[in-house]
Amino acid sequence: MTIPAEFVQQRQQKLASALSAAGLDALALNPSESLIYLTGLHFHLSERPVVGIFFPEADPWIVLPELESAKLAGLAYPLQATTYGEDPASWPQRYADALSGSAALKIGLEDNAMRLLEYRLLKSALPKAKFIDATDVLAGLRMYKDSIEVAAMQKAAEIAETALSAAIAQIKIGMTELEVAGILIQELFKAGSGGELPFQPIVSTGPNGANPHAVPSERPLQHGDLLVIDFGASVDGYFSDITRTFALGKYSPEQAHVYNAVLSANQAGHAAAAPGAACQDVDRAARKVIEDAGYGEYFIHRTGHGLGMQAHEAPYIRSNNPQPLEPGMTFTIEPGIYLPERFGVRIEDDVLVTPNGLRSLTTFPRELQVIGDK
């Protein structure tokens, strides 16, 4: 994805304000979604360290290997660069040279992304600096999706739903969970998904469906099972994440009762999510429906998570999270009930908070469908 220069500069300006507000002199990032977000540049983690450094009142800087320098050609925004060669013994000095004029004493890092390799080089170049976790600073920027991000996520949702429709038309009782996962992946790519999926699809049947993060197995699909399919597509580095539960051939009254409780919880979550509501309000609304139905102990995870360049990011739709929902935030609503050694049900949608309420990016039918009996 090529991010227009004006969007990159707007994001960097917002970052500068956020760094000042947090009392940080700089932010250092190695290859990650946040570095892509702030520069539009793609690097992969390798044995050659790449670090982007951002300041409140100066142009950003990047230290990178010479073989990656072509990526900087034609940039339409200011970015200073220091390159290094193949001799690792020279790298500390190159980092020191790049940062020799910096007075940065409080430097933000992403705790869940910065490696020890890059940290040591930064520490060597700035021995007096104090390094601080700036995850929340970055989350405060990336939680609010701009128009190009929303468009990519909407397209990713549409691709996932196209793939799901094509996949369920091919599902037959007797196939294994792995076979269904393979069909789904093929249909994702046929429908236009990027090569990097948010995660490997979850396809689980019968008792395996009681594990929210089950791995597809050789278990065959059986008549009367419930089938849980949880997966997503990618477009320009942005993800969708959708779950639907199907009945194979038939369903029992108990399965229908559990399914309808989850469906009502999903609907309650949608109704509670609006500008000004807290993340915990959405979780509590969905959870109350399931508790009232008598299945509270079997709803064993939060109601949702933020979604964007990562499959899981802020905001987190969980109890005891008072974070208010605001326009531009994208997240999932995915209540579930999991009856150990029997079956599970989950219904998941991707949603966007708008100035006037909530918009669901996913629209695939939520009613219980019977499939596979052909």
pLDDT given for residue 151 in this prediction: 97
Q: What is the pLDDT of residues 253-301, one digit of tens each?
A: 999 999 999 999 999 999 999 999 999 999 999 999 999 999 999 999 9
pLDDT at 274: 96
Low-confidence stretches of the chain (pLDDT beneath 50): none
Over the chain, what HEC string results?
CCCCHHHHHHHHHHHHHHHHHHCCCEEEECCCHHHHHHHCCCCCCCCCCCEEEECCCCCCEEEEEHHHHHHHCCCCCCCEEEEECCCHHHHHHHHHHHCCCCCCCEEEECCCCCCHHHHHHHHHHCCCCEEEECHHHHHHHHCCCCHHHHHHHHHHHHHHHHHHHHHHCCCCECEEHHHHHHHHHHHHHHHCCCCCCCCCCEEEEHHHHHCCCCCCCCCECCCCCEEEEEECCEECCEECCEEEEEEECCCCHHHHHHHHHHHHHHHHHHHHCCCCCEHHHHHHHHHHHHHHCCCHHHCCCCCEEECCCCCCEEEEECCCCCCECCCCCEEEECCEEEECCCEEEECEEEEEEECCEEEECCCCCCCCEEECCC
Q: What percent of the chain has a predicted confidence (pLDDT) above 70?
A: 99
Look at residue 1 in the predicted model and tell me its pLDDT. Answer: 64
> pLDDT per residue over 321-359, tens digit each?
999 999 999 999 999 999 999 999 999 999 999 999 999
The pTM assigned to this predicted structure is 0.94
> Domains of the chain, with CATH numbers?
5-142 (3.40.350.10), 147-371 (3.90.230.10)
- What angle do helix axes 91-98 and 116-125 make, rounded to 10 degrees? 60
| Residues 265 and 335 sit within 8 Å (Cβ to Cβ) | yes
Decide if 264 contacts 368 (C-beta within 8 A): no
Residue type, 161: E
Helix axes 135-142, 5-22, angle to 10 degrees: 140
Please give the C-alpha separations between residue 107 and each of 30, 111, 124, 215, 233, in angstroms, as whole numbers.
Answer: 13, 12, 13, 40, 35
